[in-house]
Structure 1
């Protein structure tokens, strides 16, 4: 009877921490800035999952420690050792396989998000640092890039951002059309910079003498802030620019106004 009671208590405890972990995972969405791209949604899903898993592990371990402290205390003066668990094959398999599966799942999901960004221009780096016969990712993004509605050139230099749009329109503001895939070609004129917009969940290094193309799918109108995420010199913290996600009509009007501005 006591064994059945212990099993029921354990099941109830697991149910409680599962509910608590799910609640924390949902709360994790509010810890991040508002999602402004389709890619941001996928990143937040992984973050929420990690928050849930972390909460489950923390509450589970803490609960077992507190339970053991209350119910499994040795009598005063008892210095004997407890039952050894290092030779329990089932536990060894469990705490080896479970983290391995979890890490592999996270790696696969992160890889998929990286592919969705269509990051081009890093093929050479992949070849140099990953000595495999067929770099599948590099081949995939190079041979079958997803279509983008347009391409905007992003130029980084100490300590200012500039943007070149189709039709030779230049500006110090980045404007993106809503619900359209837009390719950004990043390049630096001096040192390493970092393209970072928190609402986009994107931080991409910009390497000198290398053009790197990323593709974004903005899903939320509004004004955001682009920062340099790499230390690029004395005033790198001031290297910021306004980013606007406009409706397609407003975007076209803005480009036309800039193109025909006397």
Structure 2
């Protein structure tokens, strides 16, 4: 690729990189050519038709309609082409493939924390296999960060209190720099990491050597730890909505609106349960904001994704739901 011959360009290490670079070259080349031609023409006319003492005043021009139409319509079609090319790259980069592996990412002053669906956890390092698409679900534990891997041409703001996402498919094994590109405090420059792209066989060995409980299994532990089962019991004694087969389903609310039970909805329901009350239920749930950590939220979401009809754990007590929540990581 031409980009790799320019030493100040990062390598093209993802399927998105070449398309982003091609768009950049097209914009730079065409805009540069137009700007240069305008400058050269301007200089030529300034010299060629400069005022001279022995030259009579030229006749007034009334315009040239074909020329005016040409320099108006031609740039319009050029910029429409820019827009279409940019839209194609944008929509391709926006929507991850359906078979993409989801990895949850938490930005925190001043580190990146990753959790794989198989349960592996990493700090400031991310291991992925070459040739497989990955979708990163990003959130911040404190301030605004920005996830940036130059070699992949991926860049996404990471916001507290909500999820954003970005995806990539690596095409070349290697080790690639990861940066926070949004100033986030005194040690912002130290918020860096590395993405390790491995051959599939090597990645499988890494998975087995670093195996932990899956995110769904850890999420089940979170579900039981905070006694969610006291209300979301999915039986005749349930005090709160059934969570089985909930993920990405429409949820009808008391105010007459409908929302989709995605990652942001689940997160908001844990931290601010009174904001969107499900139709037909009272809000008995206390807020867990400041109690359930972002990592536990991600694990709980993974568990709810896997929770199907008839799989809700059985209640083992008959106590009332908790009126308050325990501190984070309390035993």
Task: Give TM-score scaled by structure 1 length.
Answer: 0.71
Deviation at 1:102, TM superposition (A): 2.3
Indicate if the aligned counterparts of 1:35 and 1:200 stay in contact, CA closer than 8 A: yes
C-alpha distance in 2 between matches for 1:36 and 1:54: 27
The alpha carbon displacement at 1:163 in A equals 0.7
Task: Determine whether 1:210 maps to 2:210.
Answer: no
Aligned residues: 209
> Contact (CA 8 Å) 2:179, 2:193: kept in 1 or not?
yes
Residues in 1 aligned to 2:3 and 2:57: alpha-carbon distance in whole angstroms:
45
Candidates 152, 161, 178, aligned match of 2:112: 161
Considering only CA atoms, is the larger Rg found in Structure 1 or Structure 2? 2
Deviation at 1:54, TM superposition (A): 2.5
Aligned residue for 1:76, secondary structure, equals coil
**How large is the RMSD of aligned CA atoms in angstroms?**
2.4
Check whether the contact 2:127–2:197 (CA below 8 A) recurs between aligned residues: yes
- Residue 185 of structure 1 and its aligned partner are, at CA, apart by 1.0
Task: Work out whether residues 148 and 215 of structure 1, in 8 Å CA contact, stay in contact via their aligned partners in 2.
Answer: no
Q: How does 1:1-262 map to 2 (within 5 A)?
A: 30=6, 31-76=8-53, 78=55, 80=57, 84=61, 87-119=63-95, 146-172=97-123, 173-259=125-211
Distance 1:193 1:83, change over 3 A: farther
The CA distance in 1 between the partners of 2:3 and 2:203, in whole Å, is 34
The separation in 2 between residues aligned to 1:246 and 1:41, in whole angstroms, is 20
Counterpart-to-counterpart distance in 1, 2:119 and 2:4: 42
3-state SS in 1 of match to 2:115: strand
Where structure 1 has 5 or more consecutive residues not aligned to the other structure, the ranges are 1-25, 120-144
Give the Cα separation in 2 of the matches to 1:224 and 1:65. Answer: 46
CA contact (8 A) 2:151 2:176 kept: yes
TM-score (norm 2): 0.57
Displacement of 1:238 in angstroms is 1.2
- How many Å apart are 1:257 and its aligned residue? 1.5
CA–CA distance in structure 1, aligned partners of residues 132 and 203 of structure 2: 11
Give the Cα separation in 1 of the matches to 2:181 and 2:204. 30
User: Are the equivalent residues in 1 in contact too, given 2:128–2:197 (CA < 8 A)?
Assistant: yes
Higher relative contact order (CA 8 A, sep 6+): 1
Give the Å deviation of 1:68.
2.7
**Alpha-carbon deviations, 1:40-89, whole Å to 9, x = none?**
1111111111121123113312332343345333323658367547x332
SS of 2:19's partner is: helix
Q: Tell me by how many angstroms 1:149 deviates.
A: 4.0
Could you say what secondary structure the match of 1:154 adopts?
strand
CA distance in 2, matches of 1:29, 1:79: 55
